[in-house]
Structure 1
Amino acid sequence: MITFEQLRADVESGAIDTVVVAFTDMQGRLMGKRLHGEFFVDEMDAGHGVEGCNYLLALEMEMDPVPGYAIASWEQGYGDFDVRPDMATLRRIPWLEATALVLGDVHWHDGSPVGPSPRQVLKAQMERAAALGLTPMMGSELEFYLLRETYEQAHAQGYAGLTPSVPYILDYHILATTYDEAFLRQIRNGMHGAGIKVETSKGEAWPGQQEINFRFADALTMADNHVVYKNGAKEIAFLNGCSITFMAKPFEDWIGNSCHIHSSLWRDGEPCFRDDETLFSRWLAGQIACFKELAVFLAPTINSYKRFAAGSWAPTTLAWGNDNRTCGFRVVGHGAARRAETRIPGGDANPYLAFAAVIAAGLYGIENELELPPGLEGNAYESDADRFPSTMREAIAALEAGTMARGAFGDQVVDHYLNYARTEQGLYDRFVTDWERRRYYERG
């Protein structure tokens, strides 16, 4: 990480000539502009933000404007909002020449925050926790597939016939990951140079699947690191003539990409779960009680729900267990490291929204003094434990019927993401898939 004064010096010396100013859209993608370094410094000295069209928080993934959003529409003219750089996120981007990046918060011209902006949704939940003297700490484990084809080649092939970097399951294999070490090392060292504390990388549970893990941090810092890493890893893949995907379920016969989220609470710089069993139990009980209603924030795409399959390492239930990978919630660590891992989100999760859902649910459990049900022993896939939604349609219905999310996030945020989810479902419902053609073209 660098300070604004360090950036100023680097711009004056020519070491940095480009500053990327970005925020995340609903899908978790970085959106923004590249500014010449000198212009960026001058604009910050003048107290200016960076303008962007407000339709960026009212789009579906293909960048088509969508009706039904209160914050932006054709009727309102699709005006601008301000992206205000958060200098605590300022960093050099080693894999791009002479480039720095800073993440920002989205505000209206009157200075008020754009409430449904994902970073604002998370910040609001962190403020709720802070009012109780608590700091949510998070760690996200993000899996991806490394493919031999470039993004251009994958697109030209219709994303069919793609070649995993290693043709066999490489979970924990040192030899197999050595084959891709030149690429993985670039990511590890690049992220370290971008101010993200790298811990480990390892092969995962399917051919070509990899995972790189980073040091936990407060929820906002971790979400910021998550989106910088996800975008940067794709850029590094492009620069190496290959591609990676964080898609939750790339193919029906592949293991899905997960985004396991580890969460704990700290107070006055010390971990609470080391000594406070009641707080831990209520925090976890809240997540178990609320995740069905919050599914849209945890599993944001149609494809998200195709990852949830028995025996796939992706959970299907809302059960919890001690170090039990078949459960939706796995309790791990001891003493100061004790924490809850939710295994429900996939690689397509928007970390700001997923972390906000974890915090909102946990606080609900604390505030309502929920009791933790008994832990599950054995195979959760074969248990009678309550199920997480298996389709986007179920997730929409749960959010529509519930009251907890509106109490935590407010009507504006819930209505915004309900519109997002309904749009995603509606677009999918109108699409004819290859599966349908293979099944019905001749025999239907």
Structure 2
Amino acid sequence: MDQEQVIAYIKENNIPKVKFAFADVDGVLRGKVISTKKFLDGLKTGYGFCDVVFGWDSNDVCYDNVDLTGWHTGYPDKLCYIDLSTFRTVPWQDNIPFFLADYSGPHGNTVPADPRSLLKKTIGECKSMGYHAEFAQEFEWFNFKETPQSLYDKGFANMEALTPGMFGYSVLRTSQNSDFYYDLFNLLTQFNIPIEGLHTETGPGVYEAAIEHCETLAAADKAVLFKTAVKEIASKHGITATFMAKWNQNLPGCSGHVHQSLWSEDETENLFYDGTDENKMSELHKQYLAGQLYCMPHLLPMYAPTINSYKRLVEGAWAPTTITWGIDNRTTALRVINTSIGYTRLETRIPGSDTNPYLAIAAALASGLYGIKNKLELNIAPTVGNGYQDKSNGSLHANLFDAATAMQNSSIAKELFGAGFVQHFTQTRLWEHRQYAKSVSDWELKRYFEII
């Protein structure tokens, strides 16, 4: 719908309120319900939001190390703008109209830390180079027979999984929770997040969903909305869904793999495919992949943004630890899929389900374009076999502190995303590390409480 059609829809259906939201640095949706009058009045002038939403962490604790906002600025309002192209209705909330917003207004991006605006800038660069990019993200997550209150009452211990046992690709387990299972598929599709596939993964109560691929910004929007939508639908069934990368040391982690390809401007030709090449990869595809390999150590926090992310990035956990690529190899950081012309693509396997989709997709696209612009040669051979053992091109940083410090000092990161974003984002990641460093874990209590 264009603006006139949206306004007509609102008026003709006597809709009293609409809902809108935007994603913060952590990918958490921040938003509100507003009256139709306020919605219509703000379409051109924007909507004021206290800029603390970019000045606090995922637990609403204010950062003490960022310049963009803080007590020193007085936490003023910044104007966000609704993107009418994101219009959809929420089927599990009486079909209330819903929109996504960002901080890209008539005067440009007013908040350098805004993830959606950052991705839009990268997409603009892609288009200026003559390419149409297609993306999709897939997610794994665990489901529990818990409520927010029961989780707090239990201290997030002894949680009851939706189903017991290791039942990957199980028809039985989904049938035993068919109301929830089919609500996910049907309601997400009605919410304009079409699902290609939905199934159990190996682990108690764990599901995986693949979202249909589409234009880059729409793909990121759908990925961001997917996580919150799943949580809301789950809540309707008395279930809590978690997108932590690794909630239990004895169970597999949860991925958020990013699939991507570049197409001609008219979207008719997959520019990643070359039938004459041994691996069906075009020169453009090779340069794009080389760019991701080269930029990977510089941008790792955009793929792995939390302390917990790195608990998943360990050997033998179906997540990469080395800077590697391979043909249909699930042990490498980058996996080339070349089964047909239409489906030839690159899968970036570093992101977990805790990722901020706008940032993960921006990192993948920007680093790929960097490889094309600089005509980087793919001089690293594809890994055959165990990617965990192939350390010839180095390994990924093993923790958030090292990854954030490397990004903070990286000229590549600043070239791709600007010094303002890099400074703010890495400071928030270093804050996250400091909060973790001063905490006392259950592991420490169990190990030292009595014996030391």
Shared fold (TM-score greater than 0.5)?
yes
Could you report, residue by residue, the CA deviation over 1:236-264 in whole angstroms, capped at 9, with x for unpaired residues?
A: 11121111001000111111110011111
Superposed displacement of residue 303, structure 1: 0.4
Query: For residue 350 of structure 2, what is the aligned residue in structure 1?
Result: 344
Query: For residue 376 of structure 1, what is the aligned residue in structure 2?
Result: 383
- In the alignment, is the contact (CA less than 8 A) between 2:6 and 2:84 conserved in 1? no
Select the residue among 138, 157, 165 that pairs with 2:162.
165
Query: For residue 406 of structure 1, what is the aligned residue in structure 2?
Result: 414
CA RMSD of aligned residues (A): 1.8
CA separation of 1:402 and 1:42: change in aligned 2, threshold 3 A: closer
**Alpha-carbon distance in 1 for matches of 2:104, 2:86:** 17
Superposed displacement of residue 37, structure 1: 3.2
Superposed displacement of residue 109, structure 1: 9.5
User: Is the counterpart of residue 57 in structure 1 residue 63 in structure 2?
Assistant: no
Q: AA paired with 2:386?
A: N
Query: For residue 212 of structure 2, what is the aligned residue in structure 1?
Result: 215
CA separation of 1:369 and 1:43: change in aligned 2, threshold 3 A: closer
Superposed displacement of residue 198, structure 1: 2.0
Q: Secondary structure at the match of 2:45?
A: coil
Q: TM-score, normalised by structure 2?
A: 0.93
Q: Which segment drifts farther, 62-71 or 404-413?
A: 62-71
Return 5+ residue gaps in structure 2 as ranges.
275-280
- In the alignment, is the contact (CA less than 8 A) between 1:81 and 1:107 conserved in 2? no
- In the alignment, is the contact (CA less than 8 A) between 2:313 and 2:319 conserved in 1? yes
Query: For residue 188 of structure 1, what is the aligned residue in structure 2?
Result: 185
Could you report, residue by residue, the CA deviation over 1:385-405 in whole angstroms, capped at 9, with x for unpaired residues?
A: 421111112202321342211
**Alpha-carbon distance in 1 for matches of 2:438, 2:88:** 43
Could you report, residue by residue, the CA deviation over 1:207-230 in whole angstroms, capped at 9, with x for unpaired residues?
A: 211012221012211110111111
- In the alignment, is the contact (CA less than 8 A) between 2:109 and 2:117 conserved in 1? no
Could you report, residue by residue, the CA deviation over 1:176-197 in whole angstroms, capped at 9, with x for unpaired residues?
A: 2212221121121112111222
Query: For residue 249 of structure 2, what is the aligned residue in structure 1?
Result: 252
Query: For residue 443 of structure 1, what is the aligned residue in structure 2?
Result: 451
Query: For residue 66 of structure 2, what is the aligned residue in structure 1?
Result: 69
Query: For residue 367 of structure 2, what is the aligned residue in structure 1?
Result: 361
CA separation of 1:371 and 1:177: change in aligned 2, threshold 3 A: same
**Alpha-carbon distance in 2 for matches of 1:226, 1:109:** 26
- In the alignment, is the contact (CA less than 8 A) between 2:21 and 2:32 conserved in 1? yes
**Alpha-carbon distance in 2 for matches of 1:164, 1:132:** 48
Summarize the alignment of residues 78-93 of structure 1 with structure 2, pairs less than 5 Å apart: 78-93=75-90
Select the residue among 278, 286, 290 that pairs with 1:281.
286
Q: Which segment drifts farther, 55-64 or 379-388?
A: 379-388
Aligned residue pairs: how many? 441
**Alpha-carbon distance in 1 for matches of 2:305, 2:208:** 21
Q: AA paired with 2:21?
A: A
Superposed displacement of residue 111, structure 1: 5.5
**Alpha-carbon distance in 2 for matches of 1:72, 1:110:** 19
Query: For residue 24 of structure 1, what is the aligned residue in structure 2?
Result: 23
Superposed displacement of residue 75, structure 1: 1.4
Query: For residue 139 of structure 2, what is the aligned residue in structure 1?
Result: 142
CA separation of 1:96 and 1:175: change in aligned 2, threshold 3 A: same
**Alpha-carbon distance in 2 for matches of 1:50, 1:83:** 5
CA separation of 1:109 and 1:65: change in aligned 2, threshold 3 A: farther
Superposed displacement of residue 18, structure 1: 2.9
Q: AA paired with 1:375?
A: P
- In the alignment, is the contact (CA less than 8 A) between 1:91 and 1:100 conserved in 2? yes
CA separation of 1:111 and 1:122: change in aligned 2, threshold 3 A: closer
Select the residue among 308, 312, 317 that pairs with 1:303.
308
Q: Which segment drifts farther, 22-31 or 307-316?
A: 307-316
Residue identity (%): 34
Could you report, residue by residue, the CA deviation over 1:304-329 in whole angstroms, capped at 9, with x for unpaired residues?
A: 00001222111111211111111111
Summarize the alignment of residues 190-205 of structure 1 with structure 2, pairs less than 5 Å apart: 190-205=187-202
Q: Which segment drifts farther, 9-18 or 54-63?
A: 9-18
**Alpha-carbon distance in 2 for matches of 1:317, 1:35:** 47
Q: AA paired with 1:345?
A: P
Return 5+ residue gaps in structure 1 as ranges.
none
CA separation of 1:3 and 1:235: change in aligned 2, threshold 3 A: farther
